[in-house]
Structure 1
């Protein structure tokens, strides 16, 4: 827009609204005003049902598929509030139109405003149409990149998503990494399914997953996948020197989940609902990050005995009456004190292993 102004177009304000494929946002707007930093304006789901959108020039241009123009000196009380805001800020003329893109997605709508005393000339309008046609291809490239990035991060996690987008997409591609493995699971999930309505189960699961996800993200972990009512996650440790910090992060995440779910259970009890109970298994080991599946349908996952042990440790929490079970390997590199629960057998592991839990 700075370059457009230098080229002679009297643009004072420019806005573009992009429809998104995003789990929390329906659209993102970008506002440029001459001499000011660009503003990014997030639009949540349901924006189309609010006064901010209903009756606006954006709605007119999108739904009527035609340009919309308002001479701001001629506004009346029935005109949308955004037009009055632009006029109050010094605008004299306002023009909105759709930007043509392919793939049948909702077209971005752009708006121009000028503070030039005479408004836009006919030549200015022609130039803005040509400008939008030239911007379309570049804008679409950014939209496609945003969609790919969002979908990969939403379904695979940020780190795994970036690995996929960077080209790790062939079956058999793999990389060994050392990491702290986390496996958490709800207890009596089968019973909850029998006692609750499907909508209640879905709400419970989403609330539980959100609390676990928040704790993991706050302490350096990332969800690899949801397995039914279970969460498989990892805390990467690129160097063994970082393991004390990484294991501390995993324990802090576990403490946060315990505290948050205790608070949630108090609210559930007040409403007469069953408490949520869960277990967490923690282990340190080397795993293979890689693609498995068919030639045209892949899953990016972690493979190795460390994954099996983390799952088995979680399964032991119920028998031992604790919420966290960690392996001796985890305890060995963890600087935070832990309490030994003695040696126990893990299914599929030949020898008994020492199990540790939180001291409190």
Structure 2
């Protein structure tokens, strides 16, 4: 916009609103003021039902598909609050118009404000209209990139999503990595499905997943996938020297989940709701990280005996009466002290293995 101002168009303020495909946001606004950096303004779901949007020039432009213009020195009480706010900041003339792009869905809306006493001239309005037309192709590219990035990160996780976007999309593409594997699962999920309404099960699952996801993200882990009521996650350890830190991060995440779910269970008990019970299995090993599936339908996942071990360890938590079961391999590289539970058999593993848990 600095170049537009330098060309003689007296723009003081510009706003562009873009509809998103995003799990938390409905739209994103970008606000530029002369002499200031661009400000990003996230718009949560439901913004269209608030007074900030209803009756605003943005709604008028988007729903009627035409430009609007308001001289701010002749506003009345009937005009929308945003126009009065812009006037109070020094604006004199407000011009907003739709940006026509090929993408389906709500169109982007652009608004310009000047603080020049005489407002925008007709030539200024024509220049700004041409500018928005020229911006359309670039904006559409930005939207497409944002959608691809959001979908990849939402459904695959940030690290895996970026691998896919960077080209790791062929069946059989993969690499071996060393990682801490996490598998957590709700207990008695079948019983919960029988006793609760579907909406209650969905709410319980989402709350549980959120607490697990928060803990993993806070300590360096990333969710690979949800498997029914289970969470498969990993903590990458590119170098064995980092394993003490990575395993510590996994244990800290487990402690956070335990504490957060205990707090959530207190609230659930007070409301007469079912308590959440769960187990966590932790193992460390080498896995293959890559694409499996058919030629035209792929899944990016981790494969290897280490993944199976983490799942089997989680399955042992209920029998041993603990919330965390970790392998001897995990304990060997973990700097934090753990408590041995003795040797036990894991399904599919030929010999008994020593199991560890959090200390008392």
TM-score (normalised: structure 1): 0.99
Q: How far apart are 1:199 and its partner, in Å? A: 0.2
Structure 2 alignment gaps of length 5 or more = none
Decide whether the 8 Å contact of 2:292 with 2:301 is kept in 1.
yes
Counterpart check, 1:326 vs 2:330: no
Counterpart check, 1:51 vs 2:51: yes
SS at match of 1:272: coil
Partner of 1:156: 156
Q: How far apart are 1:37 and its partner, in Å? A: 1.6
Aligned ranges 1:64-143 → 2 under 5 Å: 64-143=64-143
Partner of 2:263: 263
Partner of 1:351: 351
Q: How far apart are 1:105 and its partner, in Å? A: 2.4
Q: Which moved more, 1:101-110 or 1:38-47?
A: 101-110
Give the Cα–Cα distance (whole angstroms) in 2 for the partners of residues 46 and 321 of structure 1.
44
Give the Cα–Cα distance (whole angstroms) in 1 for the partners of residues 163 and 11 of structure 2.
41
Give the Cα–Cα distance (whole angstroms) in 2 for the partners of residues 118 and 257 of structure 1.
61
Q: How far apart are 1:103 and its partner, in Å? A: 2.2
Deviation sequence 1:324-350 (CA, Å, 0-9, x none) = 000000000000000000011100111
SS at match of 2:97: strand
Give the Cα–Cα distance (whole angstroms) in 2 for the partners of residues 328 and 141 of structure 1.
50
Give the Cα–Cα distance (whole angstroms) in 2 for the partners of residues 302 and 26 of structure 1.
33
Give the Cα–Cα distance (whole angstroms) in 2 for the partners of residues 332 and 251 of structure 1.
14
| Aligned pairs, number | 360
Partner of 2:218: 218
Deviation sequence 1:34-76 (CA, Å, 0-9, x none) = 0112111010000000000000000000001110000111100
Give the Cα–Cα distance (whole angstroms) in 2 for the partners of residues 115 and 337 of structure 1.
65
Which aligned runs of 4 or more in structure 1 are off by greater than 4 angstroms?
Answer: none
Q: How far apart are 1:233 and its partner, in Å? A: 0.1
Q: CA RMSD in A?
A: 0.5
Give the Cα–Cα distance (whole angstroms) in 2 for the partners of residues 204 and 104 of structure 1.
35
Deviation sequence 1:208-233 (CA, Å, 0-9, x none) = 00000000000000000000000000
Give the Cα–Cα distance (whole angstroms) in 2 for the partners of residues 311 and 53 of structure 1.
48
Deviation sequence 1:144-167 (CA, Å, 0-9, x none) = 101000000000000000000000
Aligned ranges 1:167-178 → 2 under 5 Å: 167-178=167-178
TM-score (normalised: structure 2): 0.99
Deviation sequence 1:270-326 (CA, Å, 0-9, x none) = 011121100000000000001011110000000000000000000000110000000
SS at match of 2:177: strand
SS at match of 1:153: helix
Aligned ranges 1:163-242 → 2 under 5 Å: 163-242=163-242
